Structure 1
Amino acid sequence: MEVSPDDPRRDDVVALLTEHLADMRATSPPESIHALDVDALVSPAITFVTAREDGVLLGCGALKVLSDDHGEVKSMRTTYAARGRGVAAAVLGWVVDEARARGLQRLSLETGTQEYFGAAHRLYLRHGFVDCGPFSDYVLDPHSRFLTLALK
């Protein structure tokens, strides 16, 4: 499996992100959905990555730089066929390593609170993230869970 920067406009990635947004709409109220669409992921503040094996898309994620010392994990998604293979851990590891390489001091994320997000919660906690309050432009929301990781 190789994790590396990629273009979110590739057809297979667009399909995966469309599926991701559909699942978010099915599990969270509209005002609590913070997933980015393809156009938003092309921003210069975002480094989008995919995990692939022999060219086959397994998953994706992104690092969004919020400030000189703070980044955000965005667009974490694993294909249904690749779940349980460590894809999310590999993508998250790449994002954390990239944030450290850029000199960021903190990496945060927002995820849902519903049981659907249980695997994501376990992944982030296993990698050292801890609960925190809203950051950046987020506000308190019963459907959002905020986590952060000190990178020092």
Structure 2
Amino acid sequence: MRIIDADWDDPRVIALLHMHLSRARAETAPGSAHALDLSGLRSPDVRAWTIWEGDALAGTGALKWLTPDHGEIKSMHTAEAMRGRGAGSAMLRHIIATARASGMTRLSLETGSWEYFRPAHALYLKHGFTDCPPFANYTADPNSRFLSLDLRAMDAP
């Protein structure tokens, strides 16, 4: 698998992003879905990637700078046909490495709390994330789960 900068002009990438947004919104209570749309992912404080297996798009992931030392994982999504092949773990390791190389000491994320999101919870917990209170502009919401990773506690790159 290879990870490259996201090409937001590629119709395959746009289609996967739209599917991610529509599914996240369908699986979350109204007003509780916080996934970035295409304009949000094009923001200068966001860096995004895609992961490919050959010519097949396996998934997406993004890192949003909240402060110079705190980042947020956004738009982590693995194409349904590619699940269980390690694309999510590979993308997450890439985002963590990028955050560390950028000098960040904390990486956080918000995901849904519903059954649909349980595989995502398992992925993040497997990589050392723990539950945390809401961060940045988020507020407590029973439909959200907040996770954080202390990058200082990790072994040197």
> Quick one: distance in 2 between partners of 1:16 and 1:51?
12
Asked if 2 retains the 8 angstrom alpha-carbon contact of 1:9 and 1:38, the reply is no
Could you tell me which residue of structure 2 aligns to residue 3 of structure 1?
A: 3
Deviation string 1:95-120 (CA, Å, 9 cap, x unpaired) is: 00000000000000000000100100
> Quick one: distance in 2 between partners of 1:150 and 1:68?
14
Residue pairs, 1:1-152, within 5 angstroms = 1-152=1-152
Stretches of structure 2 lacking an aligned partner (at least 5 in a row): 153-157
How many Å apart are 1:151 and its aligned residue?
0.5
Q: Secondary structure at the match of 1:125?
A: helix
> Quick one: distance in 2 between partners of 1:66 and 1:9?
25
Report the identity percentage: 51
- Normalised by the size of structure 2, how large is the TM-score? 0.94
> Quick one: distance in 2 between partners of 1:68 and 1:95?
15
Asked if 2 retains the 8 angstrom alpha-carbon contact of 1:8 and 1:48, the reply is no
Moved over 3 A (4+): none
> Quick one: distance in 2 between partners of 1:8 and 1:118?
28
Deviation string 1:71-90 (CA, Å, 9 cap, x unpaired) is: 00000011111010010000
The one-letter code sitting in structure 2 at the alignment partner of 1:140 is: A
Could you tell me which residue of structure 1 aligns to residue 155 of structure 2?
A: none
- Normalised by the size of structure 1, how large is the TM-score? 0.97
How many Å apart are 1:9 and its aligned residue?
3.2
Asked if 2 retains the 8 angstrom alpha-carbon contact of 1:46 and 1:62, the reply is yes
How many Å apart are 1:138 and its aligned residue?
0.3
The one-letter code sitting in structure 1 at the alignment partner of 2:90 is: A
